[in-house]
Amino acid sequence: MFNSIQYADLKKDFLTEVKKNIEGWQNYYVQLFPYFLNKSIIEELLQKGFEDLVKDKLQDMMSHYREFREAFIWIAKNAVDEPWFENISIQYEKILINMIHLLAITFRDISNKKDVTENKKINRAVQIYLFKEERLESFILDGDEDTVSRLFTLLMDVKELEVSIKLDLRQKIKEKYPNIKFLGEQEETPVAAGTRSLIALESSLRSKQKELKNILEVEVPKNSKEIGIAIEMGDLKENAEYKAGKEKQESLNIQVGKLKEGIEKVKVFDPSTIDLKKVSFGTTVVLLNTISKEEETFTILGPWESDPSNNVISYVSPFGNAILGSKKNAKLAFTINEKDYKYKILSIEKSEQLI
């Protein structure tokens, strides 16, 4: 009933009447707080000596942030800096960890078409709290290396989060802690990483995410509608529209599977880590073809950026793999599909696509 009251003033009046006329009013205040997020409720309870009641309720909502999403965010934004909050015994790091978890949960719910409007609202509020208000960055850069590693690794697991946010924070962390190692991170070159994951530019990832979104939100619903219309026509065995719709459905499912797999395993290349001492991801290489005596220029990127007609070569292609890791002035000889290649590396520079 209380939640159906639309106006804040009426809710305040309701609570005033509860306090005046009901013994044990404090228990009603606590129960109704998640549905009327207002400092006045907390302050009233504290003034009347119900600190333990407030503490228990806030701790319960912080622990069950999945159920009290809006209340959890309200507490984080409006209560953390209050003097009385120190007595609640809730660590700020725990709040940030729960925020990151909530970010991942809402992204997943949005993807699964579950309460999309509400989850987008919560997701937006969490991102404002963590990133726009720079709360996560401030806490991380003031913390020790273990705290930094723990929180950033947790953030990296939120695959739907914009890569630019992760890279920007990672760069700032590296500037303060040059030798920091994140949980699960190993000493590896982009080549080694590529054997387990896909390396790509941030722009390529955005393009793939956009493509996936279009399929899920436009192509799949359109196809489902077409199949529904075909079913209404009856006699599915001889129904060409139905068969075509099902074939397209299968094709879309395959596309979605491949895109999701690629997006899940992609590792966005950090331009600040480029190694110009050898042929590597993100470099443009000038080669002297010692057979034809002509110079040839290639840019080494990933499968998503590959464009052989413009000499953009994937690092996992036979040609790209053959020259990968080679240094300036190195002489190369290799055979691909029974064709011999002989080169000398003249120069290695940063690709214009990274600038």
Average pLDDT of the chain is: 84
Query: What percent of the chain is predicted at pLDDT more than 70?
Result: 91
Residue ranges per structural domain of the chain: 2-90, 97-176, 202-268, 272-354
| Structure tokens that stand for 28 in this block | 């009603």
Q: What is the pLDDT of residues 319-335, one digit of tens each?
A: 998 999 999 999 999 98
Supply the pTM of this predicted model: 0.53
> Picking from 1-10, 39-48, 162-171, which range would have the lowest pLDDT averaged per residue?
1-10
Let me know if domain 202-268 sits in CATH 3.30.565.10: no
CB 120 within 8 A of CB 103: no
CB 126 within 8 A of CB 71: no
Q: Which long-range contacts (CB under 8 A, 24 or more apart) does 34-38 make?
A: 34/61, 34/68, 34/70, 34/71, 35/2, 35/3, 36/2, 36/8, 36/11, 37/70, 37/71, 37/74, 37/78, 38/8, 38/12
> Taking residues 189-209, what's their average pLDDT?
72
8 pLDDT more than 80 = no
Q: Which CATH class is domain 272-354?
A: alpha beta
